[in-house]
Amino acid sequence: MEMYEALEAFSSLSQETRLRVFKLLIEYGSDGVLPGKIAEKLKIPDNTLSFHLSHMSKAGLVTSKKEGRQITYYANCDLMDDLIKYLVENCCSKEAKSKGKAKNNCNERKC
């Protein structure tokens, strides 16, 4: 994953509604969910939800599948895995780059 891809994903998830939508999509897993169900569960107007799903799709966080007139949305878990891997490799350890291997020092840090 390139830095700009990580930034795009983080930027998209940094908005409350989009983070709530993404969390719900993850909960539905491989079954996916229709936008009407998302709007109902999260109490989001349809046009607002459409805007946020479009933004998340552009960032690669959401995929969709059209079946007839219905569109089912899914969280892109592969991208999320890549994002976590990016953080571990690039943000958790400065030793990883110098030794050519990823070492997870996130648990050792005190904030």
In this predicted structure, the answer to whether residue 87 has a pLDDT above a threshold of 50 is: yes
Q: How far apart are CA 34 and CA 6, in angstroms?
A: 26
* Per-residue pLDDT at 78 exceeds 80: yes
* CATH architecture label of 3-78: Orthogonal Bundle (1.10)
How far apart, in Å, are the Cα atoms of 82 and each of 38, 87, 98? Answer: 25, 9, 21
Answer yes or no: is pLDDT of 85 > 80. yes
Domain segments of the chain as ranges: 3-78
pLDDT of amino acid 90: 83
β-bridge partners, 111:
none
**Predicted confidence (pLDDT) per residue in 18-33, tens digit:** 999 999 999 999 999 9
Closest CA to 56 of 109, 110, 19: 19
Mean pLDDT of 53-66: 96
Percent of the chain with pLDDT over 70: 83
